[in-house]
Structure 1
């Protein structure tokens, strides 16, 4: 998840707020409590937000 935060250039608190509001890419919670985002899910999420200029 840290890679996504760095890639988006947002504060961790912003990303966690997006997650809480359901506006972040879908994530997977592992049995040890770690959270992961699949690359394909992240790419899909970004594509949905792309502006056509």
Structure 2
């Protein structure tokens, strides 16, 4: 799977959440030295926390 796919309708980058979590339910995301946690819930929703 490609971790970075360009959405055909826009020029915004499109990232697959399942790729970011490598098939799991959680991933860490770094922004300017701050770590955030991305979690996929049982209901299939995304939660981003610091």
TM-score band (shorter)? 0.3 to 0.5
More strand by share: 2
What TM-score, normalized to structure 1? 0.32
More helix by share: 1
Bigger relative contact order (CA 8 A; separation at least 6): 1
